[in-house]
């Protein structure tokens, strides 16, 4: 490897100042090679002139180590002294890299013309495991799901154990194509969780999809509806568990499930407690999908303008109308006494409906602006005054999760509105509280608050808190892949570091999410 040739004595070369201006501050290259004393006369050394040698001058030179030089490869040994408590070891340091696509995003974000389209530049390699695994016995996969894999079910406000028990009962009810679809999708998720992305998991997933296609031609009763919802949500969980090249299909599963519920559910179905639990599961993913799609360039406009009723057109149905969400999901599937988790999701749903596109309050009249601010002030108060009612079935962890979501929604609403409500002090308090919570938390399996607070990290210490929490979370068996949300957060940091002024929050979130090849799932 090439290196710059330097004088022998470091202290002398950095601090020496010749009294005579005609003298150089270092030996010439020829004298250094000959290892003789140089008189440092400029422009040529007199020592070289007397010895009739060509003076190589006093500039920096590229040099290569001699063959057999014992110091041509020097490895630094770690210090023996102990690192102070709380200090961060160099080997544990995290680096946020800047890539060419970050610069490309920066140019688009700071362009004077509005951004209407942006190609996907943020890609995640498919983590396929090429190892040929022995086909795991189905009974073993069932036991693994019951004991381990069920913890990775992406729920909110619902105990994964209860949901797992419902799925196991549904999978053992009858001997129909719908039952087969539930069994195969459950085994596919279990195989994926146990062995990663490999052939057996793919085969079980495809078998489940084929069983669903067969079942769609048969009679639909209450049990079949429940089984279709269960199989669809397990396939959705398969896609979001470990981000892959097909992970955008999770939105299509949500679309199909909502179309099924809107078409085949009768009033007696709404009374089924198992369907209500599954409905909460669907609703959580649907709200997160609507949040993401609001920031996908072209998606929000296409959804709001498309009136097609086909439940299989993702552009038209990923973000359903408020009528469908409110009447079908919230009134029928959510229980009469919703949990705090369901209530906070309702508020996030209201925010997604209200802040549907980039705010254009600069073009409003005074009266329109007052009405606009009044509406969002009322919504902000509803979120801020949200109280977690005492629930005997609620754990301290779930109560903490609701409080984290509450703060994250407040931060997002105020940032998306450009601090229109003048709540800077309160929002900063929410940010500080979340950083304190995240610095002490063992994990954070829900990615929405992780993304929102990650966007607020400006200092190295704050970014370290986020990266450390992601690292701790990925070690838990209940965690799914956090590679995509980590990539999104780091892309946001890159834009903050490249900009010489404050960027528009809505535009920044939109261009980063739109640049993802795979639709992010922040469940």
pLDDT per position as a tens digit, 448-468 = 999 999 999 999 999 999 999
- Based on the domain organization, do 185 and 54 belong to the same domain? no
Give domain status of residue 240, yes or no: yes
**Domain final residue pick, 269, 304, 336:** 336
What's the CA gap between 475 and 266, in Å, rounded? Answer: 43
pLDDT at 396: 57
Give domain status of residue 410, yes or no: no
* Residues across the chain: 523
- Based on the domain organization, do 180 and 302 belong to the same domain? yes
Tell me if 520 sits within 8 A of 446, measured CB to CB.
no
- Based on the domain organization, do 289 and 150 belong to the same domain? yes
pLDDT at 75: 56
Give domain status of residue 165, yes or no: yes
Both tokens of 29, joined, read: 């290259």
Query: Using the 8-state DSSP alphabet, how is residue 152 labeled?
Result: G
Q: Which residues pair with 122 in a beta bridge?
A: 516
CATH at 12: 4.10.240
Give the DSSP H or E segment for 4: strand 3-4
Give domain status of residue 255, yes or no: yes
- Based on the domain organization, do 191 and 309 belong to the same domain? yes
**Domain final residue pick, 49, 65, 81:** 65
**Domain final residue pick, 336, 363, 378:** 336
Tell me if 127 sits within 8 A of 453, measured CB to CB.
no
- Among 246, 260, 282, smallest CA distance to 215 is for 260
CA 308 to chain centre: 31
Q: What is the pTM of this model?
A: 0.74
Both tokens of 523, joined, read: 């469940």
pLDDT at 266: 58
Give domain status of residue 28, yes or no: yes
Both tokens of 203, joined, read: 């085969």
Taking the CA atoms of the chain, what radius of gyration do you get in angstroms?
Answer: 30
- Based on the domain organization, do 55 and 184 belong to the same domain? no
pLDDT at 18: 44
What's the CA gap between 75 and 71, in Å, rounded? Answer: 9
- Based on the domain organization, do 144 and 284 belong to the same domain? yes
Burial 191-206 (b: 16+ CB within 10 A, else e): bbbbbebbbbbbebbe
- Look at the chain and report how many structural domains it folds into: 2
CA angle 463, 467, 469 (to 5 degrees): 115
What's the CA gap between 1 and 422, in Å, rounded? Answer: 57
The stretches in the chain having pLDDT less than 50 are 1-21, 83, 85-87, 89-91, 131-134, 268, 300-332
- Based on the domain organization, do 37 and 164 belong to the same domain? no
Burial of 369 (0-12, 13-18, 19+ CB in 10 A): middle
- Among 241, 322, 289, 279, smallest CA distance to 157 is for 279
Q: What is the extent of the structural domain holding 143?
A: 136-336
Give domain status of residue 341, yes or no: no
- Among 372, 388, 241, 261, smallest CA distance to 317 is for 261
- Based on the domain organization, do 157 and 302 belong to the same domain? yes
Give domain status of residue 192, yes or no: yes
Give the CA count within 13 Å in the CB-facing half-sphere of 146.
12
- Based on the domain organization, do 52 and 159 belong to the same domain? no
- Based on the domain organization, do 61 and 151 belong to the same domain? no
- Based on the domain organization, do 187 and 331 belong to the same domain? yes
CA angle 466, 92, 523 (to 5 degrees): 30
- Based on the domain organization, do 196 and 56 belong to the same domain? no
Give domain status of residue 233, yes or no: yes
């Amino acid at each position: 490897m090439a290196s710059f040739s330097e004088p022998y004595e470091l202290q002398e070369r950095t601090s020496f100042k010749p009294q005579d201006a005609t003298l150089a501050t270092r030996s010439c290259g020829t004298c250094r090679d000959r290892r003789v004393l140089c008189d440092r006369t400029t422009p040529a050394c007199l020592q070289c002139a007397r010895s009739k040698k060509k003076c190589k001058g006093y500039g920096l030179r590229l040099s290569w180590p001699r063959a057999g030089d014992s110091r041509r490869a020097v490895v630094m040994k770690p210090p023996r002294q102990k690192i102070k408590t709380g200090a961060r070891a160099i080997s544990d340091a995290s680096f946020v890299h800047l890539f060419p696509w970050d610069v490309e995003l920066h140019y688009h974000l700071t362009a004077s013309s509005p951004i209407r389209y942006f190609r996907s530049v943020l890609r995640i390699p498919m983590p396929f495991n090429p190892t040929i695994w022995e086909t795991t016995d189905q009974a073993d996969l069932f036991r693994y799901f019951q004991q381990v894999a069920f913890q990775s079910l992406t729920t909110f406000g619902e105990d994964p154990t209860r949901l797992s028990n419902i799925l196991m009962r549904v999978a053992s009810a009858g001997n129909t194509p719908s039952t087969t679809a539930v069994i195969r999708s459950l085994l596919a998720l279990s195989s994926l969780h146990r062995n990663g992305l490999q052939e057996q998991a793919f085969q079980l997933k495809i078998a489940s999809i084929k069983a669903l296609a067969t079942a769609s031609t048969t009679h639909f009763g209450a049990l079949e509806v429940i089984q279709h919802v269960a199989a669809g949500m397990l396939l959705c969980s398969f896609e979001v568990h470990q981000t892959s090249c097909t992970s955008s299909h999770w939105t299509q599963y949500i679309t199909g499930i909502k179309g099924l519920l809107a078409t085949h559910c009768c009033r007696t179905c709404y009374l089924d407690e198992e369907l209500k639990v599954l409905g909460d599961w669907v609703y959580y993913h649907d709200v997160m999908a609507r949040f993401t799609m609001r920031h996908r360039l072209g998606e929000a406009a296409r959804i709001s303008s498309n009136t097609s009723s086909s439940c299989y057109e993702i552009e038209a149905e990923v973000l359903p109308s408020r009528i469908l969400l409110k009447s079908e999901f919230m009134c029928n599937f959510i229980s009469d006494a919703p949990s705090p988790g369901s209530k906070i999701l309702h508020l996030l749903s209201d925010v997604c409906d209200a802040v549907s596109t980039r705010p254009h309050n600069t073009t409003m009249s005074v009266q329109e602006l007052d009405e606009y601010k009044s509406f969002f002030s009322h919504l902000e108060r509803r979120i801020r005054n949200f109280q977690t009612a005492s629930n005997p079935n609620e754990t301290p962890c779930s109560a903490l999760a609701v409080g984290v979501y509450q703060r994250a929604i407040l931060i997002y609403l105020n940032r998306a509105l450009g601090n229109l409500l003048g709540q800077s002090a309160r929002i900063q308090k929410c940010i500080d509280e979340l950083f304190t919570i995240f610095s002490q938390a063992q994990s954070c399996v829900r990615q929405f608050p992780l993304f929102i607070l990650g966007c607020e990290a400006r200092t190295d210490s704050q970014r370290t808190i986020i990266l450390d929490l992601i690292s701790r979370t990925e070690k838990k068996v209940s965690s799914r892949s956090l590679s995509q949300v980590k990539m999104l957060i780091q892309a946001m940091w890159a834009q903050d570091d490249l900009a010489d002024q404050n960027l528009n929050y809505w535009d920044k979130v939109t261009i980063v999410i739109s640049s993802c090849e795979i639709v992010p799932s922040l469940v």
